[in-house]
Amino acid sequence: MASLKLGILKTGRPPSTCIPKFGTYPDMFMRLLGPEAFDYRVFAADEGELPESPTACDAYLITGAAAGVYEPLPWIAKAEDFLRAVRGQAALVGICFGHQLMAQAFGGKVIKSPKGWGLGEQDYRVLKREPWMDAAASIRLPGSHQDQVVELPPGAEVWAANALTPMGALSWPAERAISLQLHPEFEPAYASALIENRRGTLYAEDQADRAIESYQGPDDRARVGGWMRNFLTAAT
C-alpha cells in the first residue's frame, strides 16, 4: 500500500438504487485514482465526522453532494472550519460540491446559478497549464451542477473553464490546493443512471435525453484522474 495518506471527505451519497452497482462516491474516487495509489481514509463529513487534526492525512479530497454549500447545515459549517485549518498544512482537492466548499471557505462566493444546469458531458478549455498536467488544450468530463462559484477567492487562479462556468477549475498556487466543478469520478453509466433517477423531477424529459446522449462519445476521465494523482504526489 502506498504510504501517502489521502483522506476522502464524503459530503454526499449516490441514490440508494445506484450504490449496489456503482458504490459510494469514495469508491468512485478510489477506482479513478487507483485502489493502491494511496492509503485511503474515508470520513463521513456529511454526518459530522472529520479527521482528528488537519495533519491526520497528507492530503484531503472533498467529494460531490446534492446539498448547496450556502445551506445552513451544521456539518457544512464544520467542514468549512476544517478546510480553513487544513489550508497550507495538507494538500487539497475539491470536486463539484468540494470545489464550491473550498471556494466559499477561502473567501469566494457560490450561488445557485440563473444559467441553470450544467448537465451531461462538458468541455472546458485549459487556461493555465499546471506542472501536474500534460499538454491537453481542453478536457471533456461529466457535469452535474446548478450551483457554481461566481466570485474568485483571494489567492485563487482559474485553470480551466467554459462559458457556462467561468470559474470551473481553480488552483491556489501557494496553498497546495486545486478544485474542479466537473466529475472525473463519474463513469458514463453512473452519470446516466443518476440522470434517470432525477428525470421528471429535477430534469425535464428533453434535458435528460440530451444529457444521456452526450455520454456516447469519449471523455477525459482517465487523463484528469492522472492529473489528480500527479498533483497529490507532487504536493505531498
pLDDT at 165 over 80: yes
pLDDT single digits (tens) 213-230 = 999 999 999 999 999 999
Q: Domain extents for the chain?
A: 5-235
Give the Cα separation of 173 and 235 in Å (integer): 10
Fold of the domain built from segment(s) 5-235? Rossmann fold (3.40.50)
The answer to whether residue 126 scores a pLDDT higher than 60 is yes
Please give the share of the chain, as a percent, with pLDDT higher than 70: 99
Banded model confidence at residue 2, pLDDT cuts 50, 70, 90: low
> Rounded to whole angstroms, how far apart are CA atoms 41 and 54?
13
pLDDT over 90, % of the chain: 95
pLDDT digits (tens, 9 = 90+) for 22-60: 999 999 999 999 999 999 999 999 999 999 999 999 999
pLDDT range class, residue 200, cuts 50, 70, 90 = confident
pLDDT in tens, 108-120: 999 999 999 999 9
Question: Is residue 235's pLDDT more than 90?
Answer: no
Measuring CA to CA, how many Å separate 199 from each of 68, 205, 209?
Answer: 20, 6, 9
**pLDDT digit string (tens) for 24-34?**
999 999 999 99
| Residues 108 and 153: beta-carbon distance below 8 Å | yes
**Pairing assessment for the beta strands 147-151 and 138-145 based on DSSP bridges:** unpaired
Look up residue 100 and give its amino acid: Q
For residue 27, give the C-alpha cell. 469508491
The SS3 assignment for 220 reads: coil
